[in-house]
Structure 1
Amino acid sequence: MAIVGARIDNRLLHGIVATSWAPDSGATRVMVIDDNVADDPQKKQAMKLGRPSGMAVSIISKQTALDNFKDHKYDRQKVFIISQTPDVFLDLLNQGEELNELVLGGTLTFDNAIKVTKRAYIKPEQEETYQAIINKGCKVISKYVPQDDSVDVAKVLRNKKAGA
């Protein structure tokens, strides 16, 4: 199994993901990991309308995703994962899944958040999670579209701690 792409995006599966990120990754399956959407049949059905051409789509809870990866359900697939929060990716890494790069895409703005780019923010309570992901050897970058220049999230966090 190969996780061929991983993205944090507050809109989850939407046009840019369906037409650029997922196809560019070579994925055969797009996986939305979000408890709220997975537990709401109406939201789930609406999100499935954004399915990238030629790819399977899974919209599942975090626990289902962890269980399915642990059970090797996706071993013969190339999976592109989207979630709204970094904890999903840290849990996958802690479970032993291989993840080389995580893209921080669009997020909502938050009070006291760390501004990574004009479209990406890190909540103060998420700092440790991002740092743990980086410490696991996963490069975390921020890009809205694949053509954007990469912003190194580890550098942003270091600069924040240094008071820059």
Structure 2
Amino acid sequence: MTIIANRIDGRLIHGQVANLWSTKLNITRFMVIDDEVAQSDIDKSGLKLATPAGIKLSVLPVEKAANNILAGKYDSQRLMIIAKKPDRFLRLIEYGVPIDILNVGNMSQTSETKSITKSINVTDEDVEVFKQLNEKGVKIVNQMVPNDSVNDFMALLKN
């Protein structure tokens, strides 16, 4: 299994992911896991445009992503999994995909969220999912770009 990175980012693929993270980690495939995005041709087109040349892209519902990963479909690649919300990663784990570390990037502000950092905003449901992920042994961190220091996300949540 060659999952190199797991990231929550409401923007999915954008400058930080497409340029900084992919280069630093030598990523060969982005996998966006999201049941709704996987059904949207417009969303998929935008993600294709944002993906740098030389990097493959998969936009899949969570269950199909888990099945493909567990079947070894990406074993020869350096995979970065990206989702908008933490519940997608919890579902991946429930399907049997091992996730060691999860980097929380940007989560946009809405009327239902509370601010954790200037770029991370969570709902009560998100907080519960992060707790479940933590209980399953996932190390949850916050690091916006590769040169930033790594913060313990669960400690940020408690503040």
2:66/2:92 contact within 8 Å kept = yes
Which residue does the alignment assign to 1:91?
A: 91
Alpha-carbon distance, 1:155 to partner: 1.0
The two structures, once aligned, show a CA RMSD in angstroms of: 1.8
- Confirm whether residue 131 of structure 1 aligns to residue 153 of structure 2: no
Which residue does the alignment assign to 2:74?
A: 74
Inter-partner Cα distance in structure 2 for 1:96 and 1:23: 28
One-letter code aligned to 1:18: A
Deviation track 1:7-66 (CA, whole Å, cap 9, x = no partner) reads 111111111110011222222211111222221212212210111232111111222212
Which residue does the alignment assign to 1:115?
A: 115
2:66/2:97 contact within 8 Å kept = no
Alpha-carbon distance, 1:88 to partner: 1.4
Inter-partner Cα distance in structure 2 for 1:118 and 1:157: 13
Inter-partner Cα distance in structure 1 for 2:3 and 2:51: 18
The runs of 5 or more residues in structure 2 that have no matched partner are none
Q: Please give the secondary structure, in 2, of the residue aligned with 1:96.
A: coil
Which residue does the alignment assign to 1:26?
A: 26
TM score, norm. by length of structure 2: 0.89
Moved over 4 A (4+): none
Identical positions, percent:
35
One-letter code aligned to 2:113: A
Which residue does the alignment assign to 2:141?
A: 141
One-letter code aligned to 2:49: L
One-letter code aligned to 1:108: S
Alpha-carbon distance, 1:114 to partner: 4.0
Which residue does the alignment assign to 1:150?
A: 150
Which residue does the alignment assign to 1:62?
A: 62
Which residue does the alignment assign to 1:41?
A: 41
Aligned residues: 159
Inter-partner Cα distance in structure 1 for 2:67 and 2:100: 21
Which residue does the alignment assign to 1:162?
A: none
Specify whether residues 46 and 158 from structure 1 end up closer, same or farther in structure 2 by C-alpha distance, changes over 3 A only. closer
TM score, norm. by length of structure 1: 0.86
Inter-partner Cα distance in structure 1 for 2:119 and 2:146: 14
Q: Please give the secondary structure, in 2, of the residue aligned with 1:49.
A: helix
Inter-partner Cα distance in structure 2 for 1:154 and 1:43: 31
